[in-house]
Structure 1
């Protein structure tokens, strides 16, 4: 064989070895791709799946840094899962990118993108402080059923100046498999959420089968809605069709300041969701704190709002609010699940109202019977006894006559009291306000360790308008709550009086006292409630020691 032929053979052998090496490398990368596809599909937790996708992409193409940006409805990045950056670096870098600059190119045009140096691109904004340097770049969109879910971003090719066409192809293949894995994880998460909502709905249905108390039922509705939605706050607002106002009936959540909302009245026209719920539609807001003129500061973020309706009756609204740091709106599926749950809650309200009306009818019938007996029997007997005593007075000695006349005066006073009682018994009413007041006092007794002394004076049930009742009960609860937290007392006196067209609530304790000028939080809310009703609110030192809180408002029809 000639020397030329041997050189040619060596070249052929060398080329064959290179091809064999390329085939082996391709097989190894293909095996690695298959392993990665199997790996990202072994866990149905969405967050874990996204982290595995980023890690697998970095390992397949030798990228030092990787990230998966989740694109929201507003075409901005709402989540950013990173690999290759330590938690300490992540914290020093600060806020996540929003999807502008080079990262936004894939959002505007979802096609694979390779660059030898990202810093030289015209759309490059540069990197924030403490961000590691990056040059070579590869970006690939992740699609789910032809809809963009997010983008894979890879940077800093290790062992090479830039990412190759083979790198792009293998990441595109991984992104296709990732789309399927993400869809499976999302479907699993949706099924899990459905299961939890169905369990909560079943719990409400169980409540419907027994004795229903509206307040207890709504408290359960708010608590379960917040737990299932993994939210920060849940509220139930009742709607008054006559005044077109919402009143906050139940608040559930860890924020103590939010509980001061109970009893607050909000004109439906002043809320961003009033028109939607009036039409029976679900709604969502970016920040609940700005959706209505709340009397207390709310630290909330996006919220879902669902009307509580039965047939054509709007009972109120169920609101579920998340933390401020949770970005993006709720999905249509989440709104539907909340709406189904709210429908059961509305049925609970309807049944509770029916029970209350039946119980109220029984009470009213009993009250009418008592009033009739008082008028036809008791008053007549007292009147006859008074007449007998009056006729006997002239025949008695002066001292005895004086005592008889005094007894007659007492009988007259007793008859007047009974007539007033008869008037109150026969006055139509929607609910026993006295019962609510006593319930608030008894609730405070558990925390105090003793029962406050309660004095009710005047026609409390009949004279206090429905519009003021929520404020009255909220003021009483807040005043007693302040006593429990700060007074360190051994006696509390509560007085609720209706006299001369004015409602007055006074809570007096013999505790350590407080500085009226330093009033804040709940006491500020009490002052605002009084001001809104053209009333007054004062905090003064009691006669001996302790504090006296007085809340007074005029009564109007």
Structure 2
């Protein structure tokens, strides 16, 4: 029972992380603690005879730098990447597959290595987790091998999930960049094109019809102001929020106030409480709110928008507007990012609800456990 408890704690620690690098770090730390080793490492091979990632635990940063570049796929490490069973040695230096320790590398003897499976094909060997002890220290037992094998099984699942999460975030970033590119084209570029045509028309009428030329120059001035406002709005969306320094709710308030300065719509914001969300969750909350504001201003042509964000045991964010509204059942075909917002909310453990109908405005609410 104690072994299962220790493995369960290690697996829980691994699954609390989302990025592959964080997962690998916790795997190395957990492996070392689980068997009481002096050193531990997790390696993910690349396609060029080396390792894309090789995370260690038990070796300080200074010593790690002195050891040099990441190891190559040679010797015992290469052998482990092609087999399915654990490798347990009392002294790695006596194994015929061992080659050498690099300069500044600790002199290790007892060694235990386990392959990690969990690629697109669950039978694919995607890496390895190894532990070792200093020369003269005790070797590892069969129980240690079983613990590490069980840990590696869960590590493969966690790494696969982390890769899927990172891919989804990469797609979200691409999607957001594409939307910003469309904004620049649809809003700023079109206004600048109109400004150019109007100024050319005014120039051609300066001598023949001065009154008409003055009227057109007034339009040029208005178009220029609108183009500047649109450009400022896009810049606000590009500017990263300082979540570490300000916190989510203050970032929301500041971002919304900046947006209100660039649009004629009346935008109010009310925030209270303190977010206890993970950083990745807070970033996605900001993106959902930006998308909702974008829809209210550019698609719904809202004149009044209210944004509220209150954090207690649950973080509740609501964006309501008096715009033209829409049929939520047709949102997927309207290019309004509703599916993207819904998926993003689900990914971070939240729930998104949208109330709207043609001519009656829109209310979007997001709820996330604030733990």
**TM superposition score normalised by structure 2:** 0.48
**TM superposition score normalised by structure 1:** 0.33
